[in-house]
Chain A
Amino acid sequence: MTNLEKYINAFTTTFGIGESEVEGLEYQQIKAWDSIGHMSLVSAIEDAFGIMMDTDDIIDFSSFEKGKDILKKYDVEIESV
């Protein structure tokens, strides 16, 4: 599984949405991505990449795209779609 596939998988399994819906997705844009869902998403991403995100990064993680930038700090490079 590529990093992109792992990343997309974290969103689809956490929020119960299809792969076509993740691109451009933003925090609180859908009902499932509320504050509780956000913490579940962070757990899924931490587990997928074996990292521990700082609280500041958890707060800044405001969209599907922004998350890719943040993961670079943890040496996780997400390939372009």
Chain B
Amino acid sequence: MTGKVCFITGSNRGIGRAMVEAFARGGASIIAHARKKNDAFDAEMRSLAETYGVSITPVYFDMTDTEAMKAVFKAFYQNKTRIDILINNAGVAHGGLFSMTPVSKIKEVFEINLFSAMELTQLVLKIMTRQRSGCIINLGSIAGLDLKPGNSAYGVSKAALMAWTRTLASEVAQHGIRVNAIAPGLTDTGMAAQMEEKAGREMVESSAMKRLAKPEEIAKAALFLASDDASFINGQVIRVDGGSA
């Protein structure tokens, strides 16, 4: 990863935070996105950068604020900033039976989990197509593959994200850009803690390894997909869920 620049959205906690550490340890420079400016996060990123001898630049914008997103990218274009790896990690969870989920909530979930990632990717592709190289990793979910009850918002938004991964991969491969998705099982993060206990227990039971994933295990899968070892893997959705029981 040395010499590569990796942009990670939603990098202040959970899987995103683990990604920052994994890629920094691997020698990549990081552009670490979070929604709101936070001095503690700035300090943490400085400390990680020192530990691993890499550059980590925090950037702040709300993923649904197109103008703020564009302002950040205008600066990137002007400074001719490279982006070798994009990890579309930022997302929100929501569970609930369809009849008890307002469509406005479904739209809100899609806005963050799918549309904002698409918007950001269009901006990043302007950089990657000029470079004639790049790697995009979308954070899907097994909830978007298994589509069990209660997943009309989160699960369907992740299903759409993973479907988009495949079509985008077929479009941009000609520019030397690979696009893949990771579908984690239930992972030990704040998002998992928000889940209804019964639903969480069922997800763990449905995993052959009978446990939650660690965020670092998801980050390692991303590290592999971003590496040259995965140079011919494109348009795939990789389950990282401990296997099905």
- Determine if chain A interacts with chain B: yes
Chain A residues at the B interface, C-beta cutoff of 8 Å: 36, 39, 43, 46-47, 50, 52, 55
A24 to B74, alpha carbons, bound, how many Å? Answer: 31
**B contact residues, total (Cβ < 8 Å):** 11
The reply to whether A52 and B73 contact each other, CB–CB distance below 8 Å, is: yes
| Contact across chains for B129 and A52 when beta carbons are under 8 A apart | no
B interface vs A, CB < 8 Å? 70, 73-74, 77-78, 122-123, 126, 129-130, 174
Report Cα–Cα, A46/B73, bound state, in Å: 13
Are A52 and B174 in touch, CB under 8 angstroms? Answer: no
Asked if A52 and B74 sit within 8 Å, CB to CB, the answer is: yes
Nearest Cβ on chain A to B97's Cβ, whole angstroms: 36
Which B residues are CB-close (under 8 A) to A50? 77-78
Most chain B CB atoms below 10 A, which of A43, A46, A50, A52? A52
- Known: A36-B174, A52-B70, A52-B73. Contact between A46 and B126, CB under 8 A? yes
Contact A43–B77 (Cβ < 8 Å): no
Q: Which residues of chain B are near A43, meaning CB under 8 Å?
A: 126, 129-130
In the complex, A50 Cα to B129 Cα: how many Å? 16
